[in-house]
């Protein structure tokens, strides 16, 4: 396995990977967020927890590592997430030209998440770099399926970004949002899915791999969607990981149903990522299949974006009809993604769209977490900076 100790050395730690699970370092951000909250009982409760020792929590789910500041799906980002107390880490899973599973958010994001365009491998990309011209933005498309595993290993992860006005590859690769950072952007160590399993096991955390929808037609060279879904599970079985420690995810309901039918011990914790855009969170008639139908199919976990679970009544954030229907059907809820919207002083954008009228500052993020945890009853929240959810969970005594 190609698991280095680069982040451990960077942060001055002198112990092995398993020690991350024994001591949580939340850093200054939770205290900053509390300082931005409106006065009230919740702020007082959270303020009293600032500086207290924190523990890892299954409520705190790392989204792609710690991509608020670290390149996503890299060893360095995963180690940072574990250090911040995330009890569950995510490897988004796709595959290379030789059908090897690797951690990437999409099969076609190498041009924005790695340095591939600055290497000789750019010649293998589905679409090479094209500068902005007239009204057309700069573009490129590089897929994991364009290259072999050996070639994938030669790349470095970078902050997910692209300057759509760029005239050069260098400028195109340098489009990181102002509220993120390039401070840790030079050391992104890419990982295979199997390597992520070994690392997460050493870190003492649980696993939530997401089977990403292929960008190429399936079956691919005899590799079917079922083969793909099965290979993901097989790599946990080969590593001796108990099924109860794995929360396999997919936006494709058929993938979840495949696991339920063919790998029932893993399928009972499979997560249906609900990205359906035709759902009205306040109108249960738009939930097709319905929550009860999903439950009858064997689905136990459903995970929509956080705005789907929230509404506003009398100026207060409350659970949506979607959240109530899921609870009534006996479905466990997980949601995404905290710390992915930048500063919230303009309403929070896409992730907060159903509650944007009452989102005024970064401190409102913790108000949202409190409603999701206490009123909606989510089992966990994906975050781009797990210190926030770990802090809340430790303060409130969540496991």
- Examine residue 247 and state whether it is found in any structural domain, yes or no: yes
Q: Are residues 261 and 121 in the same domain?
A: no
Task: Answer with the one of 119, 138, 172 that is the final residue of a domain.
Answer: 172
Q: Are residues 73 and 114 in the same domain?
A: no
- Examine residue 243 and state whether it is found in any structural domain, yes or no: yes
pLDDT category, 18, cuts 50, 70, 90? Answer: very low
- Examine residue 24 and state whether it is found in any structural domain, yes or no: yes
Q: Are residues 322 and 203 in the same domain?
A: yes
pLDDT at 75 over 50: yes
Give which of 320, 333, 262 is closest to 294, Cα–Cα: 333
Mean pLDDT of 35-44: 98
pLDDT at 372 over 70: yes
pLDDT category, 8, cuts 50, 70, 90? Answer: very low
Q: Are residues 315 and 377 in the same domain?
A: yes
Spatial separation of the C-alpha atoms in residues 200 and 239, rounded to whole Å: 11
Give all strands (DSSP E) within 244-383, no chain letters.
Answer: 249-250, 271-273, 301-303, 310-313, 316-319, 332-338, 380-383
pLDDT at 12 over 60: no
pLDDT at 53 over 50: yes
Q: What is the mean pLDDT of the chain?
A: 94
What is the pTM assigned to this prediction? Answer: 0.93
Q: What would the pLDDT profile of 278-330 be if each residue is shown by its tens digit?
A: 999 999 999 999 999 999 999 999 999 999 999 999 999 999 999 999 999 99
Q: Are residues 120 and 231 in the same domain?
A: no
Name the 3-class secondary structure at 227: helix
Mean pLDDT of 255-283: 97
Q: Which two tokens stand for residue 89?
A: 């880490």
Q: What residue numbers bound the domain in which 156 lies?
A: 108-172
- Examine residue 290 and state whether it is found in any structural domain, yes or no: yes
Q: Are residues 363 and 306 in the same domain?
A: yes
Q: Are residues 162 and 254 in the same domain?
A: no
Residue 253: its pLDDT value, please? 98
Q: DSSP labels for 164-217? A: TT-SSHHHHT----TTS--TTTT-EEB-BHHHHHHHHHHHT-EE--EEPPPSS-
Q: Are residues 113 and 219 in the same domain?
A: no
pLDDT at 334 over 90: yes
Name the 3-class secondary structure at 145: helix
Q: Are residues 245 and 309 in the same domain?
A: yes
The answer to whether 237 and 246 are in contact (CB under 8 A) is no
Residue 22: its pLDDT value, please? 54
Task: Answer with the one of 120, 145, 172 that is the final residue of a domain.
Answer: 172
Residue with tokens 């939340």: 26
CB atoms < 10 A from the CB of 111, how many?
24
Q: Are residues 63 and 125 in the same domain?
A: no
Q: Are residues 78 and 200 in the same domain?
A: yes
Phi, psi for residue 156 in degrees, rounded to 5: -115, 140
List alpha helices for 274-334, DSSP H: 291-297, 321-328
- Examine residue 101 and state whether it is found in any structural domain, yes or no: no
Q: Are residues 10 and 87 in the same domain?
A: yes
Q: Which two tokens stand for residue 6?
A: 């680069």
Report the CATH number that the domain containing residue 11 is assigned in CATH.
Answer: 3.20.20.190
- Examine residue 186 and state whether it is found in any structural domain, yes or no: no
Q: Classify each residue of 170-190 as buried b or exposed e, where b means 16 or more C-beta atoms within 10 Å of its C-beta.
A: eebbbbbeeebeeebbebbbb
Mean pLDDT of 177-204: 94
Q: What would the pLDDT profile of 342-355 be if each residue is shown by its tens digit?
A: 999 999 999 999 99
Residue 306: its pLDDT value, please? 97
- Examine residue 325 and state whether it is found in any structural domain, yes or no: yes
Q: What would the pLDDT profile of 136-167 be if each residue is shown by its tens digit?
A: 999 999 999 999 999 999 999 999 999 999 99
pLDDT at 17 over 70: no
Please count the structural domains in the chain. Answer: 2
pLDDT at 193 over 80: yes
- Examine residue 219 and state whether it is found in any structural domain, yes or no: yes
Residue 1: its pLDDT value, please? 38
């Amino acid at each position: 396995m190609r698991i280095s100790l680069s982040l451990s050395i960077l942060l001055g730690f002198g112990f092995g990977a398993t020690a991350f699970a024994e001591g949580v370092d939340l850093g200054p951000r939770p205290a900053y967020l509390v300082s931005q909250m409106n006065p009230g009982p919740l702020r007082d409760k959270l303020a009293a927890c600032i500086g207290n020792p924190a523990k890892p929590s299954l409520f705190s789910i790392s989204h792609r590592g710690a991509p608020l500041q670290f390149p996503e799906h890299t060893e360095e980002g995963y180690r940072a997430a574990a250090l911040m107390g995330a009890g569950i880490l995510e490897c988004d899973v796709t595959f290379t030209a030789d059908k090897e599973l690797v951690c990437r958010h999409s099969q076609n994001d190498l041009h924005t998440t790695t340095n591939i365009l600055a290497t000789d491998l750019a010649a293998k990309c589905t679409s090479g770099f094209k500068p902005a011209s007239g009204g057309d933005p700069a573009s490129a498309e590089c897929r994991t399926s364009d290259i072999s595993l050996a070639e994938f290993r030669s790349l470095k992860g970078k902050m997910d970004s692209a300057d759509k006005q760029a005239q050069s590859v260098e400028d195109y690769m340098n489009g990181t949002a102002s509220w993120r950072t390039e401070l840790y952007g030079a050391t992104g160590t890419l990982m295979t899915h199997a390597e992520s399993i070994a690392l997460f096991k050493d870190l003492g955390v649980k696993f939530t791999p997401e089977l990403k929808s292929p960008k190429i037609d399936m079956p691919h060279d005899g590799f079917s969607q079922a083969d793909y879904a099965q290979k993901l599970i097989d790599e946990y079985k080969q590593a001796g990981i108990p099924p109860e420690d794995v929360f396999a995810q997919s936006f494709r309901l058929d993938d979840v149903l495949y696991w339920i039918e063919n790998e029932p011990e893993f399928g009972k914790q499979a997560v249906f990522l609900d990205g359906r855009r035709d759902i009205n969170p306040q109108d249960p008639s738009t939930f097709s299949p319905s929550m009860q139908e999903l439950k009858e199919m064997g689905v136990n976990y459903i995970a929509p974006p956080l705005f789907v679970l929230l509404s506003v009544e009398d100026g207060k954030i409350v659970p949506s009809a979607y959240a109530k229907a899921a609870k009534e059907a006996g479905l466990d809820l997980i949601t995404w993604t905290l710390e992915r919207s930048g500063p919230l002083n303009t309403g929070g954008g896409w992730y907060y769209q159903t509650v944007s009228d009452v989102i005024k500052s970064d401190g409102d993020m913790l108000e949202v977490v409190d409603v999701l945890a206490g009123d909606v009853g989510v089992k966990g929240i994906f975050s781009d900076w797990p210190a926030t959810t770990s802090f809340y969970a430790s303060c409130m005594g969540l496991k």
